[in-house]
Structures are given as C-alpha cells and as structure tokens.
Structure 1
C-alpha cells in the first residue's frame, strides 16, 4: 500500500479491535479456570456458597469481556483507545492523543522479557501504551508512521498468534478435565 493510499484510507477514520483469537483464548481460559469451582465447593461443603461463586464468576466474565472490547480509533486528528460505555472507567480508562502532541514511541521491557511501546507526548505529562494485540497491527503501525513521522519498522507485536493457538489448545484440554471434574463432583454429590 502506498503512502497516498494509506493516507486516503485514514481520511475518515480507521478502527481496530483486539484479535478474536486473543479474545476467544482468554475468555475460554477464564471459563476453564473458574467453572469447576461452584461444583467443587458443593462437594467439599465449602463455607462459600456455590451461588456466590456463580455470581462472582459471572461478574468476572462480564468485566473480562469489557476489557477485551477495546477499540483503537485513528482519525485525521488523533489516536484514541475506547471501551464500551457500560464498562466501568475505574477498571480501564481509554485515552486519546492528538497526532501533533506525539513526540516519540519509547520502548520498555515487560516483566516477562517482552517489549512494549509507549507514545510520549510533547508535554511529557503521560505515556500512552501502543495497543499491540489488535487485528491489523501492521496497518496500525503504518498509519501511525504516516501521521507522526516516527519510524515504526522495528516494532513487532508483543505476542505472535501461534502463542495464543498453543494456549487455546491447552485450554481445550483443560475444559475436558473440567468436564470430567464436574461429572465426578455431580455423581459424588448424588451418591452422598
């Protein structure tokens, strides 16, 4: 895609969402880790009632879905990260930054050894995390480069799709173990 084509594509706005593979994997992992808990709580006569666990799991699933509903919107004037209106702002707040305010993209190392990038503003008040798990990340970088003049050729996604595929495969295995656990919990509960 030429620079003129990319600029004309940005003339209205461009929108990017978190990858469906990432959403599916993280939601499935959450379900696999939490669904057996109410069944096991009943079998072991836990002081925490299963209904309370179901309520907590449901709230957690809603909040995780909201966090995974992040959208990155690029317009002629700015880049912004938004979340659905129903999603509580005290969990994750969106942000917006005018193209003219962006000074640089600074690299930082994560605790796990990965690399993330932050937009720094000319006012140096805050740093804004470059969203790296979106569908069309290469296109996002190209548009950022066009609007800011910052070289983005060395920036790579934080994690590759194959990593999430491996996690999804293991999550599916975990769901089978969960099904076995739930069946055993239910049959044990019926016997006693």
Structure 2
C-alpha cells in the first residue's frame, strides 16, 4: 500500500516538474518559421548571374521585398488546381442573398420489409463468417494449435447462437412484412 502512494507521489512530482520545465523553458531568440503559401507573382526576366556566396543574401533579401505580406488567414489557405469539369465558386458579395443549398432528402421509413432485407443481409454475412471460422478451426486443429482451436470454437458457438436468433427474427419480420404489404 505504501509503495502505491510513493509511486503516485513520484508520478505527480514528475508531472509537475515537466509542466514547470515547459512553461519556464527559455524561448529561442529566433522567431518561428512560418511556411510560405504559394503566391502568384509575375516572373521577372533577369540575366543569369553566377551565384557566389556573397550574392545569396542579396537574392533572399530581394525576394522577400518583392513578395506581398500575407495575413494569417491567407498563409493557411490551400490552393487546389481546378480539374476538368470543375467550376470555380463565385466570390461572396456583401449584401447579396445567401446561396441556397440543395434540399436534404427525407429519411426513408424503416418498414418491416426494410428491416427484413437488412436482417437477411446480416444473416448471410454472419453465415459466411461461421463457414470461415470453421475452416480456420480445422486448420488450427491440423496444425495442432489447441489454444487457437478453442478460441475459434468459442467464436463459433457465439456466432451460431446469433445466427439462430437472426433466423427467428427473419421469420417474425417476414410475417410483419406480409401484414404490412397486405394492409396497403
């Protein structure tokens, strides 16, 4: 019991020290680098100049002066090329009415026929799983892997029980679907 409290105390101390280290850690004097967003700038024709170590800072300084300053929202924008058949969205105009969205189709009613079809599909999938598990169990027994064989046998028992329940449910839903269709 004492060891548990000591471990909890040590964890709390370690957490406190790490939080204090993060908060009080000296910041670097170099400002963080913000990734540049692609900006369309007209190319400037210039004569090729042999690059030398002295001319590199001049080129960087000239490039930074020529590019416009981006606001934070523009710097995070992603530019995606339009593909064939794509239409560029029209810019929003202040005072213009909002664009109307397409109407959302109402959810279809979950009738007894719908539930019957859904349950039949689930039953078919579960039946395939049972067949697959039986093959895997036989393979495990052939390899002599008793542990895996026991695991698969447990899964088979559960799946077969669920299959039995679903088949009973299908019978009930079949009757309900017949009554529903005759009522219409």
State the TM-score, normalizing by the size of structure 2.
Answer: 0.26
- Higher share in strand: 1
Task: Report which of the two structures shows the higher radius of gyration computed on alpha carbons.
Answer: 2
State the TM-score, normalizing by the size of structure 1.
Answer: 0.25
Highest relative contact order (Cα 8 Å, sep 6+), 1 or 2?
1
